[in-house]
Structure 1
Amino acid sequence: MGGVIIFLVIFLVLGSSILAISEDDFPGWMNEINYKTSESNKSMVIDPTRIIQLSWKPRAFLYKGFLSDEECEHLKNLARGKLEKSMVADNESGKGVLSEIRTSSGTFIDKHHDKIVRCIEERIATFTFLPEENGEALQVLKYQHGEKYEPHFDFFQDKYNAQLGGHRIATVLMYLSNVRKGGETVFPNAPDPQTKDDSWSECAKKGLAVKPVKGDALLFFSLSPDVTPDTMSLHGSCPVIEGEKWSATKWIHVDSFDKPRKAVGCKDENANCAEWAAMGECQKNPSYMVGTDAYPGSCRGSCRVC
Structure 2
Amino acid sequence: MRKRMRGVLLALALLLTPPAALPLLAVSWRPRIFVYKGFLSDDECDHLVKLGKKKMQRSMVADSQSGKSVMSEVRTSSGMFLDKRQDPVVSRIEKRIAAWTFLPEENAENIQILRYEHGQKYEPHFDYFQDKVNQALGGHRYATVLMYLSTVENGGETVFPNAEGWESQPKDDTFSECAHKGLAVKPIKGDAVLFFSLHVDGVPDPLSLHGSCPVIEGEKWSAPKWIRIRSYEHPPVPKETEGCSDNSARCVKWAEAGECEKNPVYMVGADGLPGNCRKSCGVCDS
TM-score by length of 1: 0.71
Q: What's the counterpart of residue 213 of structure 2? A: 238
In structure 2, the residue corresponding to 1:31 is in which secondary structure? helix
Letter in 2 for 1:56: W
Pairing of 1:35-184 with structure 2 (within 5 A): 49-184=22-157
Letter in 2 for 1:75: L
Q: CA deviation at 1:260?
A: 5.7
CA distance change for structure 1 residues 187 and 33 in 2, over 3 Å: closer, same or farther?
closer
Q: CA deviation at 1:31?
A: 3.2
Q: CA deviation at 1:81?
A: 2.4
Q: Whose radius of gyration is greater, 1 or 2?
A: 1
Distance 1:156 1:67 in 2: 28
Distance 1:262 1:226 in 2: 24
Distance 2:7 2:141 in 1: 41
- Aligned pair count reads 228
Q: CA deviation at 1:34?
A: 11
Q: CA deviation at 1:225?
A: 1.2
Letter in 2 for 1:92: Q
Distance 1:224 1:92 in 2: 24
CA distance change for structure 1 residues 225 and 100 in 2, over 3 Å: closer, same or farther?
same
Q: What's the counterpart of residue 4 of structure 1? A: none
Q: What's the counterpart of residue 41 of structure 1? A: none
Distance 1:83 1:34 in 2: 47
Q: Are 1:228 and 2:199 counterparts?
A: no
CA distance change for structure 1 residues 181 and 129 in 2, over 3 Å: closer, same or farther?
same
Pick from 168, 175, 181 the counterpart of residue 206 of structure 1.
Answer: 181
Distance 2:7 2:128 in 1: 45
Distance 2:128 2:10 in 1: 43
* 1:85-110 deviations in Å (ceiling 9; x for gaps): 00001111111110000000000001
Q: What's the counterpart of residue 190 of structure 2? A: 215
Letter in 2 for 1:94: G
Q: Return structure 1 stretches of 4+ with deviation > 2 angstroms.
A: 24-35, 260-263
Distance 2:3 2:236 in 1: 49
Q: Percent identity?
A: 61
* 1:141-181 deviations in Å (ceiling 9; x for gaps): 00000000000000000111011100000000000000000
CA contact (8 A) 2:138 2:235 kept: no
Q: CA deviation at 1:254?
A: 0.2
CA contact (8 A) 1:27 1:33 kept: no
Distance 1:239 1:88 in 2: 17
Q: What's the counterpart of residue 253 of structure 1? A: 228
CA contact (8 A) 2:137 2:235 kept: no
CA contact (8 A) 2:61 2:70 kept: yes
* 1:42-61 deviations in Å (ceiling 9; x for gaps): xxxxxx92110011110000
Distance 1:255 1:196 in 2: 38
Letter in 2 for 1:216: D
CA contact (8 A) 2:76 2:120 kept: yes
Q: CA deviation at 1:226?
A: 1.4
CA distance change for structure 1 residues 25 and 216 in 2, over 3 Å: closer, same or farther?
closer
CA distance change for structure 1 residues 213 and 34 in 2, over 3 Å: closer, same or farther?
farther
Letter in 2 for 1:86: S
CA contact (8 A) 1:171 1:250 kept: yes
Distance 2:68 2:208 in 1: 22
Please provide the CA RMSD for this pair.
2.2
Distance 1:197 1:107 in 2: 34
TM-score by length of 2: 0.76
Pick from 163, 170, 183 the counterpart of residue 195 of structure 1.
Answer: 170
Distance 1:70 1:171 in 2: 22
Q: What's the counterpart of residue 158 of structure 2? A: 185
